């Protein structure tokens, strides 16, 4: 059965709810739902490593950090559930989506055997040699930690910098 | 829908910390957290042979701290962890990753060339070690973000 269409509808609805809900708490919950939907889409597209990250970071940690942030704000008063339409912002969004949709036709079909990724020499090399050279069964990990170890070192330092950056912004020396 | 009037809401939410002690949440977290922690370590260590790795495992380990903070209050947790422990943990993680990278050069290999490490199955265990260090960095940083965002800026904690 085709599960992609209902999933896409779910993700779009969650994204829309995030954009239009007036209550920030509601928007954050809708955003967590959106992340969860996207994580399931990654699983359907057979990218479990990305799905794990999306579920843990997108649906889990960011939600808590957002909640902590809005705990310091005031909830909007009044009865309205939805935000008023911001026409210029809507125009920019529609334009951006239009540009992105225009590139969609150039992408190869999902699972198509002659995508650039599958026919590329690099991919073939990784898939053929990852186990014998790196000694690990997950080719993603082999690329991440061995073939592209330098990039991953950079990524780890980026995470570290995020922590340092927050400390600098808040004028602190320790996480407390 | 009966929203409290804006003024009352303002005094409500600007109270220092809105920690609600709930038996249900505390009991659930007490039961669930060891399993989540183990799962995080599993994802970290088993990332070499199945989906996952240091980044994902580190985030899952960090969610244990988030759960504990939500269930038992962030302030007691922060005191339990200690003032500067997290900064140390993150710095040690980055330093260890760099040490592996530079160490392989010192041993005569290329940068991050695990095969020269003097251990059995050097590539596999080198990758595992690096994944563990990444996990330490990520878990420490996210827990730190959690504590710091909760505390807010020095002085405007009213």
Q: Where does the pLDDT of residue A63 fall: very low under 50, low under 70, confident under 90, or very high at 90 and above?
A: very high
Rounded average pLDDT over B137-150: 90
Has residue B9 been placed in a domain? no
Rounded average pLDDT over A18-28: 88
> Which residue is listed with tokens 């919950």?
A29
pLDDT digits (tens, 9 = 90+) for A106-151: 888 877 887 877 788 888 888 888 888 777 888 888 888 888 888 8
Q: Domain containing B88: what range?
A: 19-151
Residue, of A35 and B125, whose pLDDT is higher? A35
Contact by Cβ (8 Å): B17, B158: no
Burial class of A51 by CB neighbour count within 10 A (0 to 12, 13 to 18, 19+): buried
CB contact B149 to A (< 8 Å): yes
CA atoms of A157 and A145, how far apart (whole Å): 14
Whether B9 and A172 lie within 8 Å, measured CB to CB: no
pLDDT digits (tens, 9 = 90+) for A152-162: 889 999 999 99
**Closest Cα of chain A to B28: distance in Å?**
17
Rounded average pLDDT over B23-49: 90
pLDDT at B140: 92
pLDDT at A140: 81
21-40 in B: which are within 8 Å (CB) of A?
Answer: none
At residue A82, the 3 state secondary structure works out as: strand
Domain count for chain B, please give it. 1
**Closest Cα of chain A to B2: distance in Å?**
9
Has residue B4 been placed in a domain? no
Please count the other Cβ atoms lying within 10 Å of the Cβ belonging to residue A130. 20
Q: Where does the pLDDT of residue B10 fall: very low under 50, low under 70, confident under 90, or very high at 90 and above?
A: very low
The structure tokens listed for B34 are: 């060891």
Has residue B12 been placed in a domain? no
CB contact A64 to B (< 8 Å): yes
Give the predicted TM-score (pTM) of the model.
0.82
pLDDT at A99: 95
Has residue B144 been placed in a domain? yes
Has residue B106 been placed in a domain? yes
Closest partner residue to B121 (CB to CB) among A135, A166, A170 is A135
pLDDT at A68: 87
What is the ipTM score, two decimals? 0.81
Has residue B10 been placed in a domain? no
Has residue B66 been placed in a domain? yes
Q: Would you list the DSSP string of B49-109?
A: TSS--HHHHHHHHHHHHHHHHHHH-HHHHHHHH-SSHHHHHHHHHHHHHHHHHHHHHHTTS
The structure tokens listed for B74 are: 């962030």
pLDDT at A88: 92
pLDDT at B17: 54
Q: Where does the pLDDT of residue B5 fall: very low under 50, low under 70, confident under 90, or very high at 90 and above?
A: very low
Contact by Cβ (8 Å): B154, A172: yes
Closest partner residue to A171 (CB to CB) among B6, B101, B154 is B154
pLDDT digits (tens, 9 = 90+) for A75-104: 777 778 787 788 898 899 999 999 999 998
Give backbone dihedrals phi and psi of B136, rounded to 5 degrees, phi first.
Answer: -60, -45
CA atoms of B150 and A164, how far apart (whole Å): 16
Residue B32 clears pLDDT 70, i.e. is over it:
yes
Whether A138 and B86 lie within 8 Å, measured CB to CB: no
Has residue B6 been placed in a domain? no
Q: Where does the pLDDT of residue A11 fall: very low under 50, low under 70, confident under 90, or very high at 90 and above?
A: very high
Q: Which chain A residue has the Cα nearest residue B14?
A: A72
CB contact B141 to A (< 8 Å): yes
């Amino acid at each position: 059965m085709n599960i992609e269409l209902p999933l896409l509808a779910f993700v779009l609805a969650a994204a829309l709810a995030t954009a239009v809900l007036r209550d920030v708490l509601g928007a954050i919950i809708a955003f967590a739902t959106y992340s969860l939907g996207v994580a399931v889409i990654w699983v359907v597209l057979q990218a479990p490593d990305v799905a794990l990250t999306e579920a843990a970071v997108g649906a889990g940690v960011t939600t808590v950090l957002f909640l902590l942030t809005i705990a310091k704000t005031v909830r909007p008063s009044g009865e309205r559930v939805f935000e008023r339409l911001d026409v210029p912002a809507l125009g920019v969004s529609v334009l951006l989506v239009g540009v992105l949709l225009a590139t969609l036709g150039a992408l190869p079909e999902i699972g198509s055997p002659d995508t650039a990724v599958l026919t590329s020499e690099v991919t073939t090399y990784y898939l053929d040699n990852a186990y014998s050279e790196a000694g690990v069964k997950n080719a993603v990990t082999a690329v991440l930690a061995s073939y592209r170890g330098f990039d991953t070192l950079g990524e780890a330092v980026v995470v570290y910098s995020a922590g340092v950056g927050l400390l600098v912004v808040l004028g602190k020396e320790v996480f407390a | 829908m009966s929203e409290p009037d804006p003024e009352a809401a303002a005094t409500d939410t600007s109270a220092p910390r809105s920690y609600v002690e709930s038996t249900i949440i505390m009991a659930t977290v007490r039961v669930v957290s060891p399993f989540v922690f183990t799962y995080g370590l599993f994802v970290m260590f088993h990332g070499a042979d199945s989906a996952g790795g240091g980044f994902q495992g580190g985030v899952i380990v960090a969610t244990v701290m988030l759960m504990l903070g939500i269930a038992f209050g962030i302030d007691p947790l922060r005191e339990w962890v200690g003032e500067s422990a997290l900064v140390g943990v993150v710095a040690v993680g980055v330093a260890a990753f760099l040490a592996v990278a530079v160490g392989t050069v010192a041993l005569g290999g290329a940068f991050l060339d695990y095969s020269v490490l003097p251990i059995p199955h050097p590539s596999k265990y080198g990758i595992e070690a690096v994944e563990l260090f990444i996990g330490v960095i990520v878990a420490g940083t996210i827990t730190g973000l959690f504590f710091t965002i909760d505390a807010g800026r020095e002085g405007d904690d009213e």
